[in-house]
Amino acid sequence: MLLLSRTRRPIRVLIRCPRPAICRHKGTGGAEVDKDTLAEMEARFKDFAASDSKSLLRKHLTKEIFDKLKTKTTPSFNSTLMHCINSGMCNPDSGVGIYAPDAEAYTVFADIFDPIIEEYHTGFKKTDKHPESCFGSGKDFENLDPDGNFIVSTRVRCGRSVQCFPFNPCLTEYEYGTLEQKLCAALNTMTGEYKGAYQPLAGMKKETQQQLIDDHFLFKEGDRFLESAGASRFWPAGRGIFFNEARNFLVWVNEEDHIRIISMEKGGDLGKVYDRMLGGVEALGKHIPFSRDERLGFLTFCPTNLGTSIRSSVHIKLPKLAGKPEEMQKLAARYKLQVRGSAGEHSEAKGGIHDISNKRRMGLTEYEAIKEMHDGIKALIEAECKQ
């Protein structure tokens, strides 16, 4: 139950592309899906089922599952199936295509979330339980590219949701501001190498914002996948970024998840970058209660980030392997890595630079996730040298 007492405004469900599917006001129990919404949902599903989308949503959302879930809503926020799948329907080029508008959606709509989670996280079944956190130490991971021939930069991040607050689509404008204040208070306690300053997006000059985006520090506005999922409401209220003085430790506030904790630097010293992130998570955890589920691990808006929520990545130049994309993808798949463009998901590899990261985040510990990425990048570099 939310600790906030401000009254929620009833908000009509919008499900036509490209408008976001907006969650209804907080209720005392799961409400019925109205007839107009149900009729449009069925029409949308029919079109989607006939599409050539390659998303996991398209693969797993059968007519049987759709019919079973289409009339259900979550107890606290009355989120419907459409709130979960609207982004995937609006964007058939999605890789996954589903988001959880509130934490209860993972249970109420488990029939569609569970098979997608199992496939994405390589075999995490609905009967499985995510292990307890085990972070280990970065000293176990050597510099992957000490001579700087391949790796441009290394980044390790994790997402966290804050207890007693819903996910983005269900936050009111007042709650965005309240959550931002809570997070700012915690960030202002950071000391040592983590000491820095918070910059809200509201009031930030456009040129400053664009420069931060160009420098790969700041998230950008207008992501069509998040917008269709209802995660861009009241923009830029409640959003912002925290920098330490060295600008190698960042915290994103209310972008996709409540917080993204990021450690980054030039080169391939994965262990050093990982340890810095761990220190930041520990420091913030003393002031912020993070949401964690006994089975799913740390709770996040997108099911791809559940579990450890750890994403460890490098910007890397592999010109010979890049010329053999099938071989590169086959090797990446062997080590459960994800290959993306230089600006992340849904982008191109500008200048021959790819963003390569661990794919699995569930069913393994934080330490194991980092090791999986470390071993995979090491293998890719070795393969590049043999070409």
255 an active-site residue? Answer: no
- Name which of 132, 79, 88, 133 is nearest 107 in CA terms: 79
SS3 letters across 266-318: ECCCHHHHHHHHHHHHHHHHCCCCECEECCCEECCCCHHHCECCEEEEEEEEC
Name the catalytic one among 311, 361, 365, 384.
Answer: 311
How far apart, in Å, are the Cα atoms of 364 and each of 31, 115, 202, 296? 37, 18, 38, 11
Name the catalytic one among 304, 360, 372, 384.
Answer: 304
345 an active-site residue? Answer: yes
Name the catalytic one among 84, 90, 170, 302.
Answer: 302
CA distance 231 to 320: 39
Dihedral angle computed from the Cα positions of residues 380, 345, 164 and 129, in that order, rounded to the nearest 10 degrees: -40
Q: Which two tokens stand for residue 47?
A: 């079109």
40 an active-site residue? Answer: no
Name the catalytic one among 40, 104, 119, 345.
Answer: 345
Name the catalytic one among 224, 292, 295, 340.
Answer: 340
CB 116 within 8 A of CB 233: no
CA distance 3 to 166: 11
* Sign for the pseudo-dihedral over CA of 162, 163, 169, 173: negative
260 an active-site residue? Answer: yes
32 an active-site residue? Answer: no
6 an active-site residue? Answer: no
Spatial strand order in the sheet of 259-266: 196-200, 240-244, 249-253, 259-266, 151-160, 310-317, 353-358, 337-340
Dihedral angle computed from the Cα positions of residues 82, 88, 162 and 255, in that order, rounded to the nearest 10 degrees: -130
Q: Which two tokens stand for residue 349?
A: 């590899």
Name the catalytic one among 260, 276, 360, 361.
Answer: 260
Name the catalytic one among 180, 256, 372, 384.
Answer: 256
256 an active-site residue? Answer: yes
Name the catalytic one among 58, 157, 160, 360.
Answer: 157
DSSP string, 310-350: EEEEEEEE-HHHHTSHHHHHHHHHHTTEEEEBTTBTT---G
- State the catalytic residues: 157, 256, 260, 302, 304, 311, 340, 345
